Amino acid sequence: MARIFVFMAVVMAVVLPVPASSSEADIDATSRSVVRVVILNVGRDGGLTIRGHGTGFAVTGNKFVTNAHVIKDAAQYVNVVVGIVPPKGDQPTIAKLVNYNPKRDLALIEVPENLNLPAVTFVSNFNSESADAIAVGYPGVVDSLTGADRPSEMIKPQPPTKGRGAVSQQREVNGVRHVLHSAAIARGNSGGPLLDDCGRVIGVNSFSTRSSASEGEFFFAIANSETQSFLRSNDVSPKVSDLPCRSLAEIAAEESAREQAKEKAADEAQQASDEAEAVERARIMAQIQEERENMMALAAVLLLLAAGGGVLAYQASGAEGGKPRAIIFGGIAVMAAVGAAYSWIQRPSMDSVDARLNGEKDASFFLSDLTGSSSLQPGMLTCTLDTERSRVTTSPPPEVDFEWKAEGCHDKTQYEASDGVWSRVFVPTEDYMVRVATIDLEKGEFRNERYLLPKTEWQKARDTRMNYQPPSCGDSNASNRLADMQGSVFALLPDEPNERLIYNCKSSAN
């Protein structure tokens, strides 16, 4: 196990509380998966004495990762066993060794029954060299300061200690990839997780070392690529996420920037449209003016023709045998006069500019693509995770399919309606969390939000939820009745969730 570093550094970095931040609930949530690993001597009389301890964390309901050097005595001696002490609630239990790899300094241990601890999520492609890092575990120096180093206290459930620092770099040590960081660890932290601000594992704390010139302490965590490979070789499929850790504030800022960019693009498009309209208006005005002049000129020509035809008809009517010619000339005169009058009446007015402009706009509208509405209709929906707008702290499915019914039901679960958005609150018995699912048919959007609560606050929400029986899907006035019931649970939730998954939905074939 890692040796104890300078006492005051431990006090400052480990004992003092970590400054509060928006990520603290995520760190606390993962801390529920962190256990104390106790190495026990089995006496001839069957009695147990503590030989040493470290830290581990859940990768399934009953399997835990820790360091190989933490449990090496149990692997070598038949009279040494491994004990697991959960952070809360459950009593200590004896674990068996599944496998260990001294080169990677990793071990996998298993308890006989599911302890109902949530499995951690690993960052599958972590490569940052400037991210925040939080070490979670059971440093022995804290036990000494708080009196928890006595055997009777060490086997009692205790929450782990958190220390914050930053990632410095990644490098290989003896052929094994490690994350070098400044989140202080000590003897007892070995095997505990190194987390990012979303509560996801970025490494397994292994050891610390002081430079030869004693400038300071360096802390090393086994990289996720090593741990994930080790787990898969032992038939464990870890939960992984390849998305960056972002706060809701960052996502909101990005969303605001996108909206501003859209507005700017719309303004620029409108300006271009206005300029194009001004050019088109000038063209139409010139066209109308030309048409007016042409029609007026035609009317004048026809009027002259009518006058000439009239004169010729008059002259022919007075000549001997000129009656037929008079009829012809008279007809020409009448037709020319009618044509002149029609041309004059039909000349375009300058007031028709707007009508022509709007007519061209209407034509271009009908020629454009009228599709693109995101409104959803009841039926089978396929929803795809929008990673740009989501805050992801777990390992959610990239796509979900479900049936939405007109009466406001997701599969067989009734939702309540408010301002066109349907919602349902869930308070499961595990993980101290509340989940809120919403669907917005107009936006074509499905949201899944998780609120991670302290145990006391979760218990209030759970008790409140158990005080009512939700109506069945399609019951009379089900949505309004459910709204009255759920309001008391919604009132207990924080302003913002810890995880917000936003899915864009579209109708799919049955």
Reply yes or no on whether the pLDDT at 76 is more than 90: yes
Task: With beta carbons less than 8 A apart as the criterion, state whether 221 and 173 touch.
Answer: no
Q: Which amino acid is at 281?
A: R
Residue range 365-378, pLDDT digits in tens: 444 444 444 688 89
Q: Which amino acid is at 155?
A: I
Reply yes or no on whether the pLDDT at 311 is more than 90: no
Partners of 39 in the β-ladder: 52, 82
What are the residues whose beta carbons fall under 8 Å from the beta carbon of 343, sequence distance 6 or more? 295, 296, 298, 299, 302
Helix (H, G, I), strand (E, B) or coil at 210: strand
Reply yes or no on whether the pLDDT at 440 is more than 80: yes
Count the neighbouring beta carbons within 10 Å of the beta carbon of residue 57.
26
Task: With beta carbons less than 8 A apart as the criterion, state whether 385 and 500 touch.
Answer: no
Reply yes or no on whether the pLDDT at 223 is more than 90: yes
Residue range 461-483, pLDDT digits in tens: 999 999 999 999 989 999 999 99
Helix (H, G, I), strand (E, B) or coil at 44: coil
Q: Quote the pLDDT of residue 160.
A: 95
Cα 314 from chain centroid?
Answer: 92
Whole-number percent of the chain with pLDDT over 70: 89
Helix 248-318 and helix 353-367: axis angle, to 10°? 130
> Which has the higher per-residue pLDDT, 196 or 142?
196
Give the separation between CA 251 and CA 263, rounded to whole angstroms: 18
Reply yes or no on whether the pLDDT at 182 is more than 80: yes
Q: Quote the pLDDT of residue 17.
A: 39
pLDDT, average across residues 2-7: 35
Q: Quote the pLDDT of residue 381.
A: 94
The pLDDT confidence band at residue 14, using thresholds 50, 70 and 90, is very low
The pLDDT confidence band at residue 123, using thresholds 50, 70 and 90, is very high
pLDDT, average across residues 53-58: 97
Reply yes or no on whether the pLDDT at 433 is more than 80: yes
| DSSP state string for 114-154 | ---PPPPEEETT---SS-EEEEEE--HHHHHHHTTTSHHHH
**Sign of the torsion formed by the C-alpha atoms of 5, 191, 31 and 498:** positive
Q: Quote the pLDDT of residue 148.
A: 67
Residue range 315-367, pLDDT digits in tens: 888 887 778 888 888 888 889 888 888 888 888 887 777 887 777 665 454 44
pLDDT, average across residues 25-34: 91
Helix (H, G, I), strand (E, B) or coil at 102: coil
Q: Quote the pLDDT of residue 220.
A: 96
> Which has the higher per-residue pLDDT, 48 or 499?
499
Q: Quote the pLDDT of residue 505.
A: 96
Instruction: Classify burial at 394, counting beta carbons within 10 Å of its beta carbon; exposed 0-12, middle 13-18, buried 19 or more.
Output: buried
> Which has the higher per-residue pLDDT, 34 or 319?
34
Give the separation between CA 72 and CA 105, rounded to whole angstroms: 10
Least confident among 15-24, 248-257, 304-313, 451-460: 15-24
Mean of the per-residue pLDDT values of the chain = 86
Q: Quote the pLDDT of residue 6.
A: 34
Reply yes or no on whether the pLDDT at 58 is more than 80: yes
Q: Any idea of the CA torsion for 260, 265, 270, 272, to the nearest 10 degrees? A: 150
The pLDDT confidence band at residue 215, using thresholds 50, 70 and 90, is low
Residue range 183-198, pLDDT digits in tens: 999 999 999 999 999 9
Q: Quote the pLDDT of residue 360.
A: 63
pLDDT, average across residues 484-491: 95
What are the residues whose beta carbons fall under 8 Å from the beta carbon of 98, sequence distance 6 or more? 63, 108, 109, 110, 234
Q: Quote the radius of gyration of the chain (alpha carbons, Å).
A: 40
Count the neighbouring beta carbons within 10 Å of the beta carbon of residue 102.
12
| DSSP state string for 55-81 | EEEESSSSEEEE-HHHHHHHHH-TTEE
Q: Quote the pLDDT of residue 99.
A: 96
Structure tokens at 460: 């209030």
Reply yes or no on whether the pLDDT at 488 is more than 70: yes
Pairing of strands 239-241, 121-123: parallel
The pLDDT confidence band at residue 11, using thresholds 50, 70 and 90, is very low
Residue range 265-285, pLDDT digits in tens: 989 988 998 888 888 888 888
Reply yes or no on whether the pLDDT at 108 is more than 50: yes
Reply yes or no on whether the pLDDT at 103 is more than 70: yes
Cα 425 from chain centroid?
Answer: 19
Give the separation between CA 353 and CA 346, rounded to whole angstroms: 15
Structure tokens at 84: 């697991």
> Which has the higher per-residue pLDDT, 246 or 386?
386
